[in-house]
A and B are shown apart, each in its own frame.
Chain A
Amino acid sequence: MEYVRLPLVLDVGNRQGEAARRTYEDVHAIATAHPRLPIVLWNCFYMDERLLVPLLDVCPNVRVGLATVFIPTFGIEQFTARYGPGRLIFGSNWPHQSPGPLLTYVLYADVPDVVKMAILGDTMHALIRDVRWPVRGFLADAKADGAAAPDESAGGGAAGPTEDADEVRPTVDAESAPWLEAMAELEARARSPQRASDEEGE
């Protein structure tokens, strides 16, 4: 997984106390042993900062999913100020949890629109884009030609599914239209050069 940059999603289980400490120690061991393996943690507890912050400080390959109960007041503001926009990833835990509260948690955060876009999709898009898709045939290819791993300097940019080919177009109906419209507005604001320029001075 580390070689192909395939994200490893770890459910840390919303644990507390000693169980939480042991879980984060396990994550630390995996993340430091595999520094180029993207790791996304789900179900962090809302008071996990004392464990989470030291982990994120030393493991840049670890990201945090917002799903379920990682909802501290000022959490998005504090975490993006410390780590930049790329360490938080939106999730809803649907159907166990409603997506609405996690969405408002991001949309009302006191951060620039580009940061909200990063959380809501850009960071996850980047993780998927960085996966070295040809490795689907890697093992078979390696056996066939006796090679070890493909040359990393190739950058992993060989044939894989294009974004357009795999894109799932949402069905637009009366219920989903306002959501899609709002997301489009947010994206337009985030991508606007003028807006980005204004935000730099805030």
Chain B
Amino acid sequence: MRTLAQLALSGRPLDVPVIDCHAHVGPSRGIDRPSSPDAIVRLMDKIGVERNVVSGLMFATGVRIEAMNDWVAECLHAHPDRFLGYCYINPNFPEAISAEIERCFEQPGFAGFKLHVSWNGVPYDSERYAPVYEFAAARRLPILAHTWGDESVRALARMARAHPSIPFLAGHSGAGDVEINLEEARQTPNLYLELTYSGGTPWLTKRLVDDVGADRIVWGSDTILFAASHQIGKVVFADVTEIAKRQILGGTARRLFGLT
């Protein structure tokens, strides 16, 4: 049996059902990349990704904030066995949040929320997110939030402690000050570390695994912004056990998203 590193070195799909917890669909700043559901699935097959959990790129506009979630719904409709969706809401339009949540979760495949403090400028512990936290807590839905090893992680961790039934995924763990992510994760059992980061910081995966354990770490790629083929390398070549790699690439996420 080949190891994950050996499979990657030979360019073959990994033999673990990988879950990409941080992926995107839709146009981005006019960058010309294939972004149709079919194109993304071909990309997933190349690496061995079973499912992408997707949100729209990059921000909800004020004119039609549901556009991003429509791109997600298109994927869910085209390949219901390959995609799960994050509902994205814009806290700057609080009057529209509840209706958009209801609209999304009427459709099969929406499985969590994506929040992005940098685009919206509203901290995660703002009251404006209350409808999101209430909805997610009642259904134990994961929430992926953009963080950057700073106060964004602190605020997210505070919300995680206030809502212990919600799995909170701190996006881009490893960017910024990773010590903040680790410190908060140690004292917050429902705060998970998600690995997407453009840089390939040496030994990051091992550092996180040694500190909080592989069952608190999920893999994400930021596809189609970054290449999933790049992001997978930080796990398959990490100096951790094969069991830990498989846990990070799919095991932890399967549990959080209720996948059998």
Q: Helix, strand, loop or mixed for chain A's interface?
A: helix
Whether a CB of chain B sits under 8 angstroms from the CB of A104 is yes
Binary per-residue interface labels of chain A (53-72) against chain B in the complex, 1 for a CB within 8 Å, 0 otherwise: 00000000000000011011
Q: Which residues 39-83 of B have a CB within 8 angstroms of A?
A: 42-43, 46-47
CA distance A109 to B228 in the complex (A): 10
Q: What A residues does B232 contact at CB under 8 A? A: 101, 104, 108
Whether B10 contacts A185 by the Cβ 8 Å rule is: yes
Whether B34 contacts A101 by the Cβ 8 Å rule is: no
Binary per-residue interface labels of chain A (128-162) against chain B in the complex, 1 for a CB within 8 Å, 0 otherwise: 00000000000000000000000000000000000
Q: What B residues does A98 contact at CB under 8 A? A: 200-204, 233-234, 237
- Stretch with Cβ within 8 A of A (4 or more), from B1-9, B147-155, B182-190: B1-9
CA distance A142 to B86 in the complex (A): 69
Whether a CB of chain B sits under 8 angstroms from the CB of A107 is yes
Identify which of B6, B229, B231 contacts A182 (C-beta below 8 A): B6
Known: A72-B31, A178-B5. A105 touches B199 (CB 8 A): no
Number of B residues near A (Cβ < 8 Å) is: 39
A105 and chain B: residue at smallest CB distance: B230
Identify which of B33, B203, B229 contacts A109 (C-beta below 8 A): B229
Q: What A residues does B203 contact at CB under 8 A? A: 98
Binary per-residue interface labels of chain A (97-116) against chain B in the complex, 1 for a CB within 8 Å, 0 otherwise: 11111111101111000001
Whether a CB of chain A sits under 8 angstroms from the CB of B226 is yes
A71 and chain B: residue at smallest CB distance: B230
Binary per-residue interface labels of chain B (205-245) against chain A in the complex, 1 for a CB within 8 Å, 0 otherwise: 00000000000000000011111111111101110000000
Question: What's the least CB distance linking B245 to chain A, in Å?
Answer: 12
Identify which of A97, A105, A116 contacts B227 (C-beta below 8 A): A105
Question: What's the least CB distance linking A92 to chain B, in Å?
Answer: 8
Whether a CB of chain A sits under 8 angstroms from the CB of B165 is no
A110 and chain B: residue at smallest CB distance: B46
Whether A108 contacts B33 by the Cβ 8 Å rule is: no
Question: What's the least CB distance linking B178 to chain A, in Å?
Answer: 14
Whether A69 contacts B198 by the Cβ 8 Å rule is: yes
Whether B198 contacts A47 by the Cβ 8 Å rule is: no
Whether a CB of chain A sits under 8 angstroms from the CB of B11 is yes
CA distance A183 to B8 in the complex (A): 11
Whether a CB of chain B sits under 8 angstroms from the CB of A192 is no
Whether A68 contacts B199 by the Cβ 8 Å rule is: yes
Whether A73 contacts B236 by the Cβ 8 Å rule is: no
Most buried by A among B31, B198, B201: B198
**Residue contacts A-B, CB under 8 angstroms, 9 given:** A46-B226, A72-B226, A98-B201, A98-B234, A100-B236, A179-B9, A182-B9, A185-B10, A186-B11
Q: Which residues of B contact A (CB under 8 A)?
A: 3, 5-6, 8-11, 29-34, 42-43, 46-47, 198-204, 223-234, 236-238
Q: What are the nearest 9 A-B pairs in CB distance?
A: A100-B237, A101-B233, A182-B9, A104-B233, A108-B229, A101-B200, A100-B233, A105-B230, A98-B200
Q: A74-B34, A178-B6 are in contact. List 10 more A-B contacts (CB 8 A).
A: A47-B31, A49-B32, A69-B198, A78-B33, A100-B234, A101-B231, A104-B236, A107-B8, A108-B229, A186-B11
